[in-house]
Structure 1
Amino acid sequence: MKLRKALALGLAAAMTVSMIGCGSTADTSTDTADTTEAAEETTEAADTTEESTESADATTDGVPGYLDINLDDYTDLTASIKFLHCRTDREEDGSMAEMIAKFNEKFPNIEVKTEGVTDYAEDALLRLSQGNWGDVMWIPAVDKKDLSSYFMPLGSTEEMSKSLNFVDSWSYDGISYGIPVWGNAQGVVYNKAVFEAAGITELPTTPTEFLEDLQLIKDNTDAIPLYTNYAAGWTMGAWDAYVGVVSNGDATYMNQKFVHTANPFDDPGDDTGIYNLYRILYDAVANGLIEDDYTTTDWEGCKGMINNGEIGAMVLGSWAYSQMVEAGDHGDDIGYMPFPMTVGGTQYALAGGDYNYAVNINSSDENKTASLVFIKWMLEESGWSVREGCYSTVIGGENPDMYSAFDGCEMLSDEAAIAGEEDFLNEMNAESELSFNAGGNAKVQSIVEAAATGSKSLDDIMADWTTAWNDAQDELEIEVLY
């Protein structure tokens, strides 16, 4: 099938999928498979599974749409459902069980079994291909054209957008198949006391200023300036969240222009763009502004370290803020700042949906309905979003006050792909093996490795990425327009 498309007008608001904190020291997952093999199995399963619903239908026969659910009408519903997610930390600290117990106070006859999976990006795809994952899950990196093979249509994206934020990130042909757990603003978590001790009086707004501040932390404190979280792997994917809006101020870039761009990794020469985003990481490593041994970083341990002033900053989504606050006695020292990049005199911040809840298309009608009730309760009544320091998916819902540092920033969301091009970025990610915002941890880890060993310059890395990107465009016959 030829993939050449002309860039057209007509834009709809959408978000990139950002990464929830999915790592933990406890492995509650099943055996994993290679990511590529799992993705291939998932695609093969999509090709061989008879679709249970037409994508033009907004709901499944016999089951109400999400917007039709009034929680008070379902207090006597009886069902047993399973919820697959990646927040193993909330399984371990008991807060997930507490939420389920609270849910059962209102819905005593709906049993909810939960499973937290450590290597979620890989395992969720494998579970999806095998069909043994349960009733509710957080959508992994599947092709949008395959959504209706796996998940129940939840309603018209246009109608759902009137009540919910970010619902078009997993939308196809005008139908939403997922609802974000919450929204994130993408920035940097940091320790205010460390910054003050280093002599930093104003938050950095450019990559060059940030690197200078990291040097001040090294020179004037005992803290690790920038903690990479290299060893965890998945944490490195957080850097990809700044590729679009944050690095260039263009809400249409990520889902519409990126795949059509010939040289997206060139240095614009003005401290902006993808090149300078990753320059922060490369130069921080090359200049010794990270931990002594990046191969031994500890995801769980770093939370207490930054809380206690042993780390200056970490590049993570806003979901990480509450975890760092809760990790010790110095939660008031934890801050969250916009990513240090300024485009044309303005700092931009990306606000978008995180992982999305979805309902198994093959579940029984009772379980589908119970799943919708559970999802709606989690979004509207659990209070989980505020406790995690995240934006509410529900329009008009309660939001935390942690974003004060973002005053003056322009908050944007990635606009949706052009109709007919919804799968272009997924296909480019797979063909190029760069996987932006889709588990591309290895490419970011390679920056750390190259900078630490001096084996490649950043220019060499970006040149390799450009070759892979252009080859993918040629193979997929995606027209280069920029």
Structure 2
Amino acid sequence: MKMKKFLALSTASVMALSMVACGNTDNGAAESSASTTPATAEASTEAGTAEAEVTGLNYAELTLGEDYTDITTTIKVLTNRTDLLEDGAAVPFQTYIDAFNEMYPNITVDIEGITDYASDTLLRLQGGDWGDVMFIPAVDKADLSTYFLPLGTTTEMDGQLNYYNQMYEGTVYGVPYTAGVSGGIVYNKAVFEAAGITEMPKTPEDFIAALKQIKEYDSSIIPLYTNYAAGWAMGGQWDPAISGSATGDSTYMNQKLLHTANPFADPGDGTGAYNVYKVMYDAVAEGLTEEDYSTTDWEGCKGMINNGQIACMVLGSWAVPQMKEAGDNADDIAYMPFPITLTSGKQAASVGPDYSFGINANTTEDNQAAALCFVKFMTEESGFSYDCGGLPVAIKDTRLPDFYAAFKGIDFVVDEPAIEGEEDLLNELNAESGLNINNNGETKLQELVECAADGSKTYDEIIDEWNEEWTSAQESCGVEIQ
């Protein structure tokens, strides 16, 4: 993927940039999964990854509308985007299927939406009889070839995609359906303006002050909505911010974090994981969130932020279109970077792909070919990523949603992959520690909300526990701590 480690947005580059993630009822998971961490081709080369020749079906070599037009079959596609299967969706899935069938009239596409996607698809994978295309869940990289068809080498994909992340030993197994900013903040700009907030907060202290200002302006407005009850909408949305947004370091999430001693400790400069999670703790402790966190409602919060009952939520940029479509005030919905300023004096934003299309390695040859046609159509011809408010995945696609103009001057940081031999180490540390960093780790954040609400533990007590759990996991996994 021809993506620099840092991408500073200028007026010109905003329109040319090809890099948000659109989510759904269960999403974010991809932005947040250890197995779906964005990578760059340059990074994979630096890591010394060897490429193996990929024979048979090949993404780069497929010519849409010319190849496999004689195939007659039905393919089953699993998706987390249940919202696009409902009446009233801005661009329903059927629209894309109809356009695909203009090119491939004899390929029938059967879409199945799954609400609890991250968990259910892992069970379906293990069962084997799941269909032909799915968004790849959090499987170990070493197991990708067991379940999914190889689509090409990293070198081949460099010429096709701005992002890919499901790769192992130089072979790519998945194509992201969209890409975007992780761990930013969706907000109602009309509420912020009415409360007298004229500049976007750039530090945690400024952000908490803004939330207080909103509450003082109108106590009926929820300044920050936690989405506690929808666990995926917590860990999957806050965790990515501890990488690029909080450090500006493209190697942090998949390389340095694994070896860092006490990674949640306060660095003393307003950056790092400590100051990301502290925003949530402080907001809850100071009464700047919903009154009863256990009653939060994911579907309901969309309309609430649209009509100004909620001021903001920490979510990936994929959520912006959903919030815009949830009421009559689309123009009031905006997006801002997570409020941390680096020691350089600049802000950064973590950017990367969402879930990736993967093709069943164990289905029939005709269905694999039909599935590849569908995946490439959705990536290169359908406009799916753009419709989801996403940054373009395909190099040939250059359209960019308007709301990214707000990130002018912000460094976009794309996480580099793990070094060779440590591809699954983050998964191992997550499993051993139970923290599930960047892998739908809602449990730790739900505990944080609970403790902040009842005062049972201070923030530093929680952080000390997380550091102890992480250190113990490092020791159990034989990790060299630096």
TM-score by length of 1: 0.88
The answer for the alignment partner of 1:251 in structure 2 is 250
Partner of 2:226: 228
1:259-292 CA-partner distances (Å, limit 9, x unpaired): 1011101011221110110000000000000111
Instruction: Give matches, 1:20-419, under 5 Å.
Output: 20-23=22-25, 57-61=52-56, 64-73=57-66, 74-93=68-87, 95-167=92-164, 169-186=165-182, 187-221=184-218, 222-237=220-235, 238-344=237-343, 345-397=345-397, 398-419=399-420
The answer (yes or no) to whether the contact 2:23–2:81 under 8 Å persists in 1 is yes
Contact preservation (8 Å) 1:83, 1:137 = yes
2:14 maps to none
Amino acid at match of 1:65: N
Checking the alignment, whether the CA contact within 8 Å between 1:85 and 1:116 is kept in structure 2 is yes
Q: Contact 2:347/2:410 (CA < 8 Å) preserved in 1?
A: yes
Which residue does 1:52 correspond to in 2? Answer: none
Residues 66-108 of structure 1, C-alpha deviations (whole Å, 9 max, x = no match): 1111112133322211101111111113601222122212211
Aligned AA (1:181): Y
**For 1:334 and 1:446, how far apart are their aligned partners in 2?**
29
Structure 1 runs not aligned, ≥5 long: 1-10, 25-38, 40-54
How far apart in 2 are the matches of 1:60 and 1:368?
Answer: 14
Distance 1:365 1:281 in 2: 49
Q: How far apart, in 2, do the equivalents of 1:181 and 1:416 lie?
A: 19
Distance 1:97 1:479 in 2: 50
- 8 Å CA contact retained: 1:13, 1:416: no
Letter in 2 for 1:252: T
What is the CA deviation profile of residues 392-440 of structure 1, one whole-angstrom value per residue up to 9, with x for unaligned ones? 1012412212111111111110111111111111111111111111121
AA matched with 1:452: A
Alignment partners' CA distance in 1, 2:192 and 2:439 = 32
C-alpha deviation, 1:57, in angstroms: 4.5
Q: CA deviation at 1:459?
A: 0.6
Is the 1:59–1:154 Cα contact (8 Å) retained in structure 2? yes
Deviations 1:10-37 (A, max 9, x none): x9979xxx9753427xxxxxxxxxxxxx
Aligned-pair CA distance for 1:60: 4.7
Q: Which residue pairs with 1:461 in the alignment?
A: 462
Q: Kindly, what percent of the aligned residue pairs are identical?
A: 53
Give the aligned partner of residue 433 of structure 1.
434
Deviations 1:204-259 (A, max 9, x none): 11111101000011100232100111111110121011111111111111111101
Partner of 1:30: none
**What per-residue deviation string (whole Å, max 9, x for no partner) do you get for residues 311-355 of structure 1?**
110000000000000111100000011111110101011111111
Query: Does the CA contact (< 8 Å) of 2:51 and 2:154 recur in 1?
Result: no
Measure the CA separation in 2 of the matches of 1:399 and 1:58. 34
Label 1:330 to 1:12 Cα distance change in 2 as closer, same or farther (>3 A).
Answer: closer
Contact 1:12 1:416 survives alignment (8 Å): no
1:302 counterpart SS class? helix
Are the structure 2 counterparts of residues 354 and 58 from structure 1 closer, same or farther at C-alpha, using a change threshold of 3 Å? farther
Q: For 2:65, what is the secondary structure of its paired residue?
A: helix
Distance in 2, matches of 1:310 and 1:59, equals: 52
Q: CA deviation at 1:162?
A: 2.2
Q: 1-side partners of 2:22 and 2:293: how far apart?
A: 22
Q: Cα offset for 1:193?
A: 0.2
Instruction: Verify the 8 A CA contact 1:246 1:347 in the aligned structure 2.
Output: yes
CA contact (8 A) 1:58 1:65 kept: no
- Contact 2:107/2:370 (CA < 8 Å) preserved in 1? yes
CA distance in 2, matches of 1:102, 1:213: 45
Q: Is residue 58–residue 153 contact of structure 1 (8 Å, CA) maintained in 2?
A: no
What SS is found at the alignment partner of 1:350? strand
Following the alignment from structure 1 to structure 2, what is the Cα–Cα distance between the partners of residues 56 and 387?
34
Using the size of structure 2 for normalisation, the TM-score is 0.88
Does 1 or 2 have the higher relative contact order (CA < 8 Å, sep 6+)?
2
Q: Is the 8 A contact 2:21 2:181 kept in 1?
A: no
Alpha-carbon distance in structure 2 between the residues aligned to 1:252 and 1:396: 27
1:319 partner letter: W
**Matched-pair contact (CA < 8 Å) for 2:22–2:390:** no
Match of 1:51 in 2: none
Q: Which amino acid aligns with 1:257?
A: K
Question: Is the Cα–Cα contact under 8 Å of residues 221 and 310 in structure 2 kept in the other structure?
Answer: yes
Given residue 358 of structure 1, which amino acid in structure 2 is its aligned partner? Answer: G
Aligned with 1:346: secondary structure?
coil
Whether the 8 Å contact between 1:184 and 1:390 is mirrored in structure 2 is: yes
**Counterparts of 1:67 and 1:366 in 2: how far apart (Å)?**
18
Is the CA contact 1:22–1:119 (under 8 Å) kept in the aligned structure 2? no
Residues 1:437 and 1:177: Cα distance change in structure 2 (over 3 Å): same
SS in 2 for 1:97: helix
CA distance in 2, matches of 1:115, 1:312: 33
